Structure 1
Amino acid sequence: MRNEHLNELEIPLPPLPEQRRIAAILDKADALRAKRREAIAKLDQLLQSVFLDMFGDPVTNPKGWAEVPVGSLAERITKGESPKWQGFEYCDDGVRFITSENVGRGRMIRKDKFIPSDFDDKICRSRLKSSDLLINLVGASIGRLSIMEDDLLPANINQAVATVTLDRTRISVDFVMAMLLTPSGQNRLLGGKVDAARANISLKNIRDLVLPLPPLPMQRRFEQLCGVIRHRRMELAYSGSKQDELLASLQQRAFSGQLSQAA
């Protein structure tokens, strides 16, 4: 639209008291979204607090747990490849492709990207399994971790993400993720690198990473708590999506003049 046409643009203009009423409705809807985000953040803080209370700081290891390298606890530690390096392109449907954008801090970020099954066959060594631990290896999101979710399978990964398949008869995936998400755990994972945005984590770094190993029943109790918090977070995320839809609907009605007509 050219600037000279702006003067001719007509917009609904309810009386000022009505404008204030509409603004108040939108503010209340936005406040609900802010409270949901705060509730999710508090759940994450609770989980980290419980971890430190149960197991202590993973670097100083005040409870004196035996320390074991990840390589001796893992059935597999690997990463994927870039499809373009192999002459493949992304497609609309196929095998889900996980990149660093999908690996959030303690949870998966759902952004759909797919690769042809031929490329998945070519890099079958990095096909993801249920409850694999995913670790971002490079870039601004280095050190973020999440656990692969069953409903996102089948899936594969690119070269910026490592997958660690742990021996769950010896160690809990939830325990490892929570440990590596603590400040000292992140520092150990990154090797003390200051400029994390330009650093990188190698597969050898992960294999050599030493973890405290508390008794498995104790890890299982923590794992159960993780399940409860994860379920609550999912409930908040679902209600949040409904709140987002409500706010979008209210905004559309407000700017089209329909909200001012409502009782």
Structure 2
Amino acid sequence: MKKIERLGEYISEYSVRNKDNEDIQVYSVTNTNGFCTEYFDKDVASKDQTNYKIVPKGYFAYNPSRINVGSIDCQSVEDRVIVSPLYVVFKADERVDNNYLLHYLKSDIGKTYINELASGSVRANLKFSILQEFPFHMIPIEEQKEKMAVIAKIDESIACCDSIIEKLDLAVKSRFIEMFGDPVENEKGWEMIPLSELGTCKNGMNFASDEDGIEIAYLGVGDFKDNSRIDGVSGLSQISLNTMPSEEYLLKDEDIVFVRSNGSKELVGRCLAVYPGNEKLTFSGFCIRWRKNSDKVMTDFLLQVLKTENVRILMRGRGANIQNLNQQILGKLMIPVPNMALQQSFVEFVGAIDKSKLAVQEMKNKMEILKASVMQKYFC
């Protein structure tokens, strides 16, 4: 039997500082990875950390201005870590299973409370005093653990799907290297042709925020996920424009689109192929479109060339602060061009792998739908 109670009855804030400036690992909390260290510069350890907050194992921490996107986690990696003074740190008492509470705060109902109650004129900010007022579905801790065991089984299936997809991607990379070698070193001696001789580039549109009229799908930086292909326009964002973009701004089948500019250097140069078919699809000013005009190269082969690490390094540039890709850099990329029979063989292999990935992805989607349904049942 669920009891709706005040969350503050079960949690308490913890504000112990690293006053002795102990050498404790600095962590951040992200919406995707939870507690992690990769967002800090190497020299952070030399800074004064006496005001940083200590997070013991089993305690929670969240960024008050980012909890609305899921930046909250329970610390389970080390005996103690420290986080920015901006973070809120708290613990749950013995009547609450940490995993149950975390899933509650990340559930749809938890996100709804966060978005409704967080304050701030520029961005949401969830103070601990507000968090304490959240309605909380309290059940005996044994039931909490049972429910989390069900969620864990679903998460295990989702992780298994991710592992299979990762291995399939590695199979493509391995086959590419086996057949063609490194595209920058070109140890197999293929003919090398500048990308500018194989196709043409066009920067995307800079959309005006106040325009209204014709609805059209567009490709933005947020659409560059791990997949390398987009079919149709389903799931893409829409924008209203006063007039339909000219043909040069409408994407066609087999166009390759690159991230041109982004705050993260690692994302610059990420690319995917689009197959909009008869649908209208444009692309934002943070992207560059490349369109093939040569029969010497196949799109799926070229995509793999562009995804190899050494080529990505060339696209990103060697300067520490270069976070922009331009048509000149793209045009100068030297592309190995093996004979068409070898390219065709590789593309057929990729096609077979993609079919397997699609089946696994569909299974993962079903598991995620099941998880959402179970979470809805548990917390709403």
TM-score between both structures, scaled by the size of structure 2: 0.59
Q: Alpha-carbon deviation of 1:7?
A: 8.8
- C-alpha distance 10-217 of structure 1, shift in aligned 2 (>3 A): closer
Structure 2 counterpart of 1:99: 220
Structure 1 counterpart of 2:173: 48
- What is the CA–CA distance in structure 1 between the aligned matches of 2:147 and 2:162, rounded to whole Å? 23
Per-residue Cα deviation, 1:209-228 (whole angstroms, up to 9, x for no partner): 11111111101111111112
Is the partner of 1:129 in helix, strand or coil? coil
Please identify which structure carries the higher strand content. 2
Residue 128 (structure 1) aligned with residue 251 (structure 2): yes
State the aligned residue count. Answer: 248
Is the partner of 1:24 in helix, strand or coil? helix
- Match of 2:198, as an amino acid? L
- C-alpha distance 7-129 of structure 1, shift in aligned 2 (>3 A): closer
Unmatched 5+ residue regions in structure 1?
A: 257-263
- Match of 2:346, as an amino acid? F
- Match of 1:72, as an amino acid? E
- What is the CA–CA distance in structure 2 between the aligned matches of 1:44 and 1:199, rounded to whole Å? 26
Q: Alpha-carbon deviation of 1:33?
A: 1.0
- What is the CA–CA distance in structure 2 between the aligned matches of 1:148 and 1:10, rounded to whole Å? 45
Structure 2 counterpart of 1:165: 291
**Contact 1:99 1:157 (8 Å CA) reproduced:** yes
Alignment of 1:85-234 (within 5 A): 88-89=211-212, 94-108=215-229, 111-116=235-240, 118-121=242-245, 123-139=246-262, 140=264, 141-150=267-276, 153-167=279-293, 169-195=295-321, 198-234=322-358
Residue 61 (structure 1) aligned with residue 182 (structure 2): no
**Contact 1:131 1:147 (8 Å CA) reproduced:** yes
Unmatched 5+ residue regions in structure 2?
A: 1-116, 118-128
Q: Alpha-carbon deviation of 1:42?
A: 1.4
Q: Alpha-carbon deviation of 1:17?
A: 4.2
- What is the CA–CA distance in structure 1 between the aligned matches of 2:277 and 2:222, rounded to whole Å? 18
- What is the CA–CA distance in structure 2 between the aligned matches of 1:136 and 1:117, rounded to whole Å? 22
**Contact 1:106 1:177 (8 Å CA) reproduced:** no
Q: Alpha-carbon deviation of 1:29?
A: 0.7
CA RMSD of aligned residues (A): 2.9
Structure 1 counterpart of 2:147: 22
Higher relative contact order (CA 8 A, sep 6+): 1
Structure 2 counterpart of 1:260: none
TM-score between both structures, scaled by the size of structure 1: 0.83
